[in-house]
Amino acid sequence: MRDDDVGVYVHVPFCQRVCPYCDFAVVAARRLTPALEESYVEALLAELACRRSDFGERPLATLYLGGGTPSLLRPASVERLREAVFRTFAPGEPVEVTLEVNPSTLERERLPGFRAAGVNRLSVGVQSFDDATLKRLGRAHRAAEAWRTLEACRAAGFDELSIDLIYAAPGQALDALERDLAAAIAFGPEHLSAYELTLEPGTPFAQAAARGRLLRPDEDAVVAMMDALELGLERAGYERYELSSHARPGHFARHNLRYWQRRPVLGLGLGAFSTDPPAAGWPHGRRASNPRELPRYLEAVRAGAPPQLEVLGPAVARGEAVFLALRTARGLDARAFAQEFGAPPRGFFAQPIETLVAAGLLTEGALGDLRLTARGRRLSDGVFEQFV
């Protein structure tokens, strides 16, 4: 695990509407009142102060405000959080400061304020440029609002934009996905993330699917969508550097890379996870998690209670090191793996590697480096299961 700097993730759980496919720690709040906003920001600041010592003197590399809908916060609250994080960890240069934004009039009007508050990168939850698809996804916005928000982002001075798309949505056909992709490319974001819709247990979509009331594309259609996304983005000059992530050269999402590289991230807020750096007693780091219920989280912070901690043992850490690295285009560096765990990947996973290479799902380099093949990317979940 590399631990030379730190990233900070701030979870803002409030949503005006909770999407039927969402399994994140969120709180429905049609209107975020100043009192609730203030109490939550105070809790974040208190948690930052309590957890700071676990991350030592590492310089700050990234700050990511996600959710939920963090852009429901007023710019003054975002600025307050950014300043507190920068005071806590001496900034490296430059610090990537990302804010997630949904297309809405309220959030659009706040964009200049967010820029003035020190945000320098936006991730816009477009999901689709097709009104019918957006409606089936349960999204609150429509395509016209998405376009207006993207244009407003540029007008506010943001030159680092990421667009999120969802594919394999209910009732979505290949041609609809191709139109979404063409629209996104035409706008020209620096970064694009494309996520296959997954049915998380307990969500309304999962319940509807169990009752046979959710019509989704079949496996062949989903594979065709994956191929169309990868080919279309490659032709447009975007590099696929992770399974769901594509960027123009020099515009990778540095905060997101931290998770796949197993680098330290301090997670603050409701349901947030941290990747604590290695220390005496936990050479492979620890994982910390916060309560997912708002009253419990606020009470825990008020009481100074620590998050739930899991020390990562060698077996768990080895498996995670493999499948997280395999998510990236670079793949698994066998030499770095051996330095951390005492032997190359074959020393622990010889049989799975043999089987997956023979099946055309993995390639193995001369030094033992591992990468997913094109077929392996399409069947990645099955590949990753071999290392858990």
As a whole number, the mean pLDDT across the chain is: 96
Nearest-angstrom CA–CA distance, 93 and 150: 27
Instruction: Please say if the pLDDT value at position 11 is more than 90.
Output: yes
Q: Do domains 6-259 and 315-385 have the same CATH topology?
A: no
pLDDT tens-digit readout, 230-245: 999 999 999 999 999 9
Contact present, 120 and 81 (Cβ < 8 Å): no
Q: Is 61 helix (H, G, I), strand (E, B) or coil?
A: strand
**Hey, CA dihedral for 242, 245, 248, 251, is it positive or negative?**
negative
Nearest-angstrom CA–CA distance, 43 and 211: 40
% pLDDT > 90, the chain: 95
Separation of first and last alpha carbons in the chain:
18
Instruction: Please say if the pLDDT value at position 115 is more than 60.
Output: yes
Per-residue confidence (pLDDT) for residue 347, from 0 to 100: 96
Band of pLDDT at residue 303, cut at 50, 70 and 90: very high
Per-residue confidence (pLDDT) for residue 168, from 0 to 100: 97
Residue-range domain boundaries for the chain? 6-259, 315-385
Instruction: Please say if the pLDDT value at position 145 is more than 70.
Output: yes
Cα 298 to Cα 19, 147, 269: the distances in Å are 24, 37, 9
Contact present, 270 and 296 (Cβ < 8 Å): no
**For tokens 């600041």, what's the residue?**
45
Per-residue confidence (pLDDT) for residue 30, from 0 to 100: 81
Instruction: Please say if the pLDDT value at position 29 is more than 90.
Output: no
pLDDT tens-digit readout, 67-105: 999 999 999 999 999 999 999 999 988 999 999 999 988
Architecture label for domain 315-385:
Orthogonal Bundle (1.10)
- Encoding tokens for residue 27? 């709180």
Residue 297's closest CA among 6, 14, 7, 8? 14
**Hey, CA dihedral for 75, 79, 80, 82, is it positive or negative?**
positive
Per-residue confidence (pLDDT) for residue 1, from 0 to 100: 52
Please state which CATH class domain 6-259 belongs to.
Answer: alpha beta
Summarize the confidence of residues 340-368 as an average pLDDT. 97
pLDDT tens-digit readout, 346-358: 999 999 999 999 9
Per-residue confidence (pLDDT) for residue 3, from 0 to 100: 67
